[in-house]
Amino acid sequence: MIEKFSAGATAVAKLYGHGNVGDFIVSHIATLQGADNAQVSRCGEVLAAVREGFGVGGEHSLMVIAVGQTLLSGGVVSVGGVVSLSNPITMTCAAIGAIHYGWNALSEQEKAAILSSVATMFATGIESVRSVANFVLNTIKILLSKENLAALKKFASDGAAYFDRCIGDISRTITDRSRDLYNATGERLSHVVSSLPIRLPFWRAADEVTSGFETEPARLPPQ
C-alpha cells in the first residue's frame, strides 16, 4: 500500500533533501534518538512521541518542524520551496526549541495565522495543528531537564540566526532582547575597533621629536 502524503509533508522532506516522506520520517527520528548529544536525542524522543501519539503515517511529527521553522523565520515555510540546510539536525532541534520558547509568546491572532497556514499545507484542520503544538509543549516539560532546556534555547538561537533573527524575536522576553542588544552592540564595537589602523595618522608618541627641531620646556614670562 502506497501512503499519500500532504504537500506540506513533502515540502519538509525536500527541505531536508529527501524525496521519500515515509523513509525520511523514520530515518530522521532514528538519527536524532541515536545521537550522542543528549539534547539532540531528547528532541528525537519528542518527535517520536508525536508520531506515536498521533499516528497516521507520522505527518504530525513534520508539522512540528513546519510550525517551529515558521516561528524561527517569522514567516511560513514555502510548500514549493527547497532550501539547503547546512545542519538538518540542528534545525530540527531549533524548530522544537522555537515552539517551546516562542509559541506562547504569540498573540492569539498570530497563532491563528500560523495554524491556518500549516493546516493548509498539511491538508488538515486547524485544531489538529494546535493539538500538535500543545502536545510538544507538554512533552518537552516531561522529557527535558533544566540543562536540556538551556541547550534547547541555544539551538533555537542558532536557528533564528539562520534567518537573520535573534532569540529575542522568538521568546520576546525583555531578558532575551536585552541580551541580543548587548551582543549586537559588542559585535559592532569589536568590528569598529578591529577596522581602525594600528597607528592613527594624527598620533605621535610623547618622546617623538620632529626632524630638524628640538623641543624646549615652556618658559613663563618674568613676573
In a domain, 189, yes or no: no
In a domain, 87, yes or no: yes
| Rounded distance between C-alpha atoms, residue 212 and residue 38, angstroms | 71
User: Over the stretch 171-219, which tens digit does the pLDDT of each residue have?
Assistant: 889 888 787 676 666 454 444 445 445 554 545 555 544 444 444 544 5
In a domain, 173, yes or no: no
In a domain, 76, yes or no: yes
User: Over the stretch 119-129, which tens digit does the pLDDT of each residue have?
Assistant: 999 999 999 99
In a domain, 151, yes or no: yes
Phi, psi (degrees; rounded to nearest 5) at 64: -60, -45
- Provide the grid cell at 63: 508539522
Structural domain of 84: 7-165
Burial label for 10, CB within 10 Å (0-12, 13-18, 19+), is buried
- Average pLDDT for 140-163: 92
Q: Which residue has the cell 524548530?
A: 95
In a domain, 202, yes or no: no
Type of residue numbered 163: F
In a domain, 125, yes or no: yes
In a domain, 210, yes or no: no
Question: Does the model's pTM come out above 0.75?
Answer: yes
Asked if residues 179 and 168 have their Cβ atoms less than 8 Å apart, the reply is yes
Percent of the chain whose predicted confidence (pLDDT) is above 70: 74
Q: How many domains does the chain have?
A: 1
